[in-house]
Amino acid sequence: MRYLLDANALISLGLGDHVFHSRVERWIGSLQKDKTELDFCAITELAFIRILVQLPDIVANVADAKSQLAGMKSRSPLPVVFLDDALGAERLPSWVKTAKQTTDGHLSELAKTHGAILATQDGKIPGAFVIPE
C-alpha cells in the first residue's frame, strides 16, 4: 500500500507538539513496514517548509526546515518515496469547484497516478484515506 501524505498530515507528523502529531504517528506505526510506503511530493514538502518557517513559536529558517524534513524522512519507519509530478490543471478531478480544493484535487490525482492513496486528516476530500483518530 502506498500513501501520499497531504501537507497537513506531513506538518502534523513533523511537529512533535502539533495537536494531531500523535494521531499521525500512531497511524504510521500501525502500518505494515514491509507492505507500506509513504510518498512525498514537491507540493507537500514545500508546504511543510513554508509553514514551519512562518510559525511564530518556532525559530526556523528555510535551511532548518529542510534539515528537519530530511531528518524526518531518514528516520521514517516506512520506506519514503518522492513522487514525480508532471500533472497539469487539466487533470484536476471534476469535484474540484473552488480555489480551496485545487491542491487537494491535484494531490488526489497525483496519488492515483502513482498507485497511491492520499492520506489526510480532512474528511472532505473524495476518495482520500482519513487518518484515524
Give the pLDDT confidence score for residue 125 in this predicted structure. Answer: 96
Give the pLDDT confidence score for residue 72 in this predicted structure. Answer: 93
Give the pLDDT confidence score for residue 56 in this predicted structure. Answer: 84
Identify which of 51, 18, 34 has the alpha carbon closest to the alpha carbon of residue 131. 18
Question: Looking at the 3D structure of the chain, how many domains does it have?
Answer: 1
Written as one string, the DSSP assignment of 3-50 is EEE-HHHHHHHH-TTSTTHHHHHHHHHHS-TTT-EEEE-HHHHHHHHH
How does DSSP classify residue 95? T
- Whole-prediction pTM: 0.92
Residues 5 and 114 sit within 8 Å (Cβ to Cβ): no
What's the mean pLDDT when you consider all of the chain?
94
Q: Please report which helix (H) or strand (E) contains residue 101, including its range.
A: none
Structural domain for 102, as ranges: 2-130
- Residue 129: φ, ψ to 5°: -90, 125
- pLDDT of 16-44, one tens digit each? 888 999 999 999 999 999 899 999 999 99
Question: Distance between CA 42 and CA 72 in Å, rounded?
Answer: 15
Residue ranges, the chain, pLDDT below 70? none
Give the pLDDT confidence score for residue 75 in this predicted structure. Answer: 93
User: Which CATH number does the domain housing residue 37 bear?
Assistant: 3.40.50.1010
